[in-house]
Amino acid sequence: MRYLILASALSLLTGCSLLGLPAQPASNGGSAAPGPAPASAPGAPAPAAPRTDAPAAPSAPSPVSVSLKNDCKETVRLFFGDKPKFGSGTYSTLSSNTRTSKQMMPGDMIWIVDDHDNGLSAFTVSEGSRDATINASCSGWGG
């Protein structure tokens, strides 16, 4: 009889059934026991599948090849950057009646500047930009 009482007590404490009786569920504060999740009941809706119709992320802008042409009769000073005189960028010149090509990104700016680095006119590169022509008056853009 002692053996039966000890076995029953051990069964209750460990959740094991030495006597072939089903083990009592352990009390652990109301949380579920670790292990695999129970299977869905028949007729229950299936879990939702991940959506595949989400829009793709926008792609990064790609470089644009801009052809710079100088229709002015003089060499023109240019600044490649946001703010001539006050910002970081690169100064260059374009001789009279010449053409050059430069790889730039949409949103980049090209400025015509005077001898004191003051901006006279700006051209902003866009995805559709292909040609940027300095006009005959040397102070603006357009042919």
> pLDDT tens digits for 32-57?
555 565 555 666 666 666 666 666 77
Question: Do 89 and 80 touch, CB atoms closer than 8 A?
Answer: yes
pTM tops 0.85, yes or no: no
Q: Which one, of 81, 66, 58, 71, lies nearest residue 126 by Cα? A: 66
- Whole-number pLDDT of residue 19: 46
Kindly report, residue by residue over 58-109, the tens digit of the pLDDT.
Answer: 778 899 999 999 999 999 999 999 999 888 899 999 999 999 999 999 999 9
Instruction: Identify the DSSP state of 26.
Output: P
Of 113, 116, 118, the closest CA to residue 138 belongs to 113
36 vs 23: which has the higher pLDDT: 36
Can you give the pLDDT at residue 60? 81
Is the pLDDT reported for residue 29 higher than 70?
Answer: no
Write down the pLDDT at residue 3.
Answer: 46
Question: What is the pLDDT, as a whole number, of residue 36?
Answer: 60
Tokens encoding 1: 């009889």
